[in-house]
Amino acid sequence: MYTNSKTRGSNRVPNYSSGNRFSGNRNGSSGRNFSSRSGGRNKRKSSYEKIDVSRFISKSTVIEKEEIYLPTHTFSDFKIDAKLKLAIANKNYIYPSPIQDKSISHALEGRDILGIADTGTGKTAAFLIPIINKIISNRDETAIIVAPTRELAIQIETEFNDFVRGMKIYGVVCVGGAPISAQIRSLHRECNIVIGTPGRLVDLIKRGEIDLSTTRSIVLDEADRMLDMGFINDITFILEKTPTDRQGFFFSATLPKPIEKLIERFTSNPVKVMVKTRETSKNVEQDVIRLNNGADKIDTLCQLLDKEDEFKKVLIFSEMKHSVEKLSVELIKRGYKAGSIHGDKRHNDRQRTLLRFRKDEINILVATDVAARGLDIPEVTHVINYEIPQTYDTYVHRIGRTGRASKKGVALTFV
């Protein structure tokens, strides 16, 4: 069991704020757009699973022999436009990741792709590269990318913008929690790609602002997460609006039955690519924190956070939006460099907080599962489950935020 001894640390500082680098910007011009002519939903299916606490403990920090993947392609082998090759090189991508290596050449031939892969595998570039290449060769091409959360949608947009810099190819992010009127205005301007969350996309389709009848590519990113979040009807609705002969890219970490059925219905003979994701427990040391009767939970947490040499970058999970907010407010009050992301926060606030966490301006981020889903935040040293997650699957996703890129991480769960 994880024990805590008290040391005062400088994880505490006064408040400050910073800017936001995540603003999508482009010039208005006429050309390809999605517009021909409700209600963002966020239904959440709740299924409580009784989890054996022993599953939160794992001292087995065996140093794994790193498996070295030898790609069969280089990026220059792919039959893609030279400008795109240059953009890939500018991102310092030298070798394709396994999912890119195994799927891009098939995708370039127009095949449907089913990728069983998690965040961190390079799946975003695996679908963006073939789609952008299509657009370069035909400026009338459009694509829709459906992602479970605003943060993931914006992460995809950031990578998209890196790839299309200077090419006059534009994307629009349409997510819930951000003003719909601005999104509608953007849709009326030139854009080839819409990246959005299911509820908002359905809303815009129903309003006649997104017309998918000529869309040539659709991506479902983290399909299993969208199922978990109650979006199955929305994603089915979106898929039904696309032509039957469009190309589909389906990515999912797992393949639950409803997603399997969806893929069967909406793809034809897809190329299946499975990328072994690292067993989280291999890189993440897991332990529990038992609160003795009468011990104050937040004091116990602070005793851990005060060990600043260890707890350098900490992601804390709590179940409900209000408990996340309450905890982060209390930590800030106690002088810690903390912030929070959850569904009740304004979109821009969430982006700003994430950026501050990425840039180490704050080192403690308190989050709900939904808000933190799919985020690629490097160098998180500790994940703390301030409240036990509802399912073991959620637990695995949470602790997967640490121990990335072969680094060791620690996951602690209050029980």
Binding site for ligand AMP (CB under 6 A): 93, 96-97, 100, 119-125, 376
CA distance 350 to 354: 6
Q: Are strands 193-196 and 338-341 parallel, antiparallel or unpaired?
A: unpaired
CA distance 126 to 70: 17
Residue nearer to ligand AMP on the CB measure, 125 or 175 = 125
Angle between helices 150-164 and 347-358 (to 10 degrees): 70
Min dist CB 30 to ligand AMP, Å, is 32
Min dist CB 240 to ligand AMP, Å, is 27
> Bridge-partner residues for 56, per DSSP?
none
Q: Are strands 382-385 and 193-196 parallel, antiparallel or unpaired?
A: unpaired
Backbone φ, ψ for residue 292 (5° rounding): -70, 155
Residue nearer to ligand AMP on the CB measure, 96 or 148 = 96
Min dist CB 117 to ligand AMP, Å, is 7
Residue nearer to ligand AMP on the CB measure, 156 or 301 = 156
Min dist CB 252 to ligand AMP, Å, is 13
CA distance 113 to 96: 16
Backbone φ, ψ for residue 357 (5° rounding): -70, -45
Min dist CB 115 to ligand AMP, Å, is 10
Residue nearer to ligand AMP on the CB measure, 147 or 412 = 147
Min dist CB 157 to ligand AMP, Å, is 13
Residue nearer to ligand AMP on the CB measure, 355 or 415 = 355
CA distance 273 to 38: 35
Residue nearer to ligand AMP on the CB measure, 56 or 127 = 127
Q: How far is CA 259 from the centre of its chain?
A: 18
